[in-house]
Amino acid sequence: MFGFLNLNKPFGWTSHDCVAKTRKLLRLKRVGHAGTLDPAATGVLPIALGKATRLLQYLPGEKAYQATIRLGVRTTTDDLQGEIIAEKSVTNVTLETVKTALQKFQGKIEQIPPSYSAIQVDGKRLYDLARKGETVEAPVRIVEVFKIKILDWREGEFPEVDVAIACGTGTYIRAIARDLGTVLGTGGTLAALQRTASSGFQLADSLTFTDLEAQLQARTFQPLPPDVALQHLPCVSLSAPADQKWCQGQKITFENNSSQILRVYAEDERFLGIGQTKDGVLTPLLVLV
């Protein structure tokens, strides 16, 4: 089996749990995922099947989320799964105030990942250190948020704002929730999170495990083509015998002198793999055929 599964990850499952479940259902050893999702998050989790695991490094990094941020609450994990460390009624914050504050989180921003995250410091995961009671602050990272749009606003003792966020790889939505609360002086935490797009895959086209099991039982399941999420890369078609030489690991003369990574196809539209051009030469990076 060779291709991708666009999985709609269920609540409470780790990304590793999803890989293990997929491996069991498909009876397939080589399974991997792109873009880890927290257990409390749901939505798009791209799963690579078979040799497609070798393509994970070439997937685009852009992601999109719908999140609910609750003001007036701070937790150890920056979401509702953690222990509450501060809580106060919020009565002086308006939608316009929140809208203005959210503008600070667009563009390239500095972000400190949550203490409970998979980031490694000195070779150790932050969540492992946090569970042992060790306080280690993750290094500041530069991430990019392309757009934040307010979807809904609910007033109350602990107001909530629903937002749609489009961002680059490595962005922690929990950190945005925490830092928004800091900017407003209220404290804030992530109350709910759904990933609506990741690495070229969309929520509308995703399958739940129930969907997958039903398709497997009906023998209708087909993995998505391996190049489906690589459309951001330019492509080149090789005619014979150049395609055979390239598949054997040989460099091919290329008319373009630019340096770029691209998809490589045979004349019959078979996807052959990933190549790189430089100084008029097409070099194989990943041969799949």
132 and 213 part of one domain? no
**Kind of pairing between the strands at 188-198 and 42-49:** parallel
Q: Do the domain assignments include residue 228?
A: no
Task: Record the pTM.
Answer: 0.90
Hey, what are 162's tokens?
């629903």
Hey, what are 24's tokens?
């069991």
The stretches of the chain forming alpha helices (DSSP H) are: 15-26, 95-102, 126-131, 173-184, 209-218, 242-247
Q: Domain boundary residue among 186, 218, 250?
A: 218
69 and 185 part of one domain? yes
Alpha-carbon gap, residue 282 to 31, rounded angstroms: 29
The residues with which 58 forms a beta bridge, in sequence order, are: none
Condensed to tens digits (0 to 9), the pLDDT of residues 103-149 reads 999 999 999 988 765 555 555 545 554 455 556 666 789 999 999 99
Share of the chain above pLDDT 90, in %: 84
pLDDT at 134: 55
Q: Do the domain assignments include residue 142?
A: yes
pLDDT at 129: 45
86 and 50 part of one domain? no
192 and 165 part of one domain? yes
Q: Where are the beta strands (DSSP E) in 18-106?
A: 31-33, 42-49, 63-71, 73-75, 84-87
Q: Do the domain assignments include residue 230?
A: no
**Kind of pairing between the strands at 124-125 and 120-121:** antiparallel
**Kind of pairing between the strands at 201-202 and 42-49:** unpaired
The residues with which 188 forms a beta bridge, in sequence order, are: 71
Q: Do the domain assignments include residue 128?
A: yes
Alpha-carbon gap, residue 268 to 47, rounded angstroms: 27
Q: Do the domain assignments include residue 132?
A: yes
Lookup result for tokens 């090789």: 238
Q: Do the domain assignments include residue 172?
A: yes
85 and 193 part of one domain? yes
Q: Do the domain assignments include residue 265?
A: yes
Average pLDDT of the residues of the chain: 92
83 and 190 part of one domain? yes
CATH assignment of the domain containing 29: 3.30.2350.10
Lookup result for tokens 């430089």: 278
211 and 169 part of one domain? no
43 and 90 part of one domain? no
Q: What is the mean pLDDT of residues 81-99?
A: 94
Q: Which domain holds residue 276?
A: 235-287
138 and 185 part of one domain? yes
Q: Do the domain assignments include residue 12?
A: yes
According to DSSP, residue 224 is labeled B
102 and 207 part of one domain? no
71 and 193 part of one domain? yes
Alpha-carbon gap, residue 150 to 206, rounded angstroms: 24
The residues that are catalytic are 38
How many domains in the chain?
3
Of 26, 18, 21, 70, the residue nearest 49 (C-alpha): 26
193 and 78 part of one domain? yes
CB atoms inside a 10 Å sphere around CB 164: 14
Alpha-carbon gap, residue 100 to 158, rounded angstroms: 19
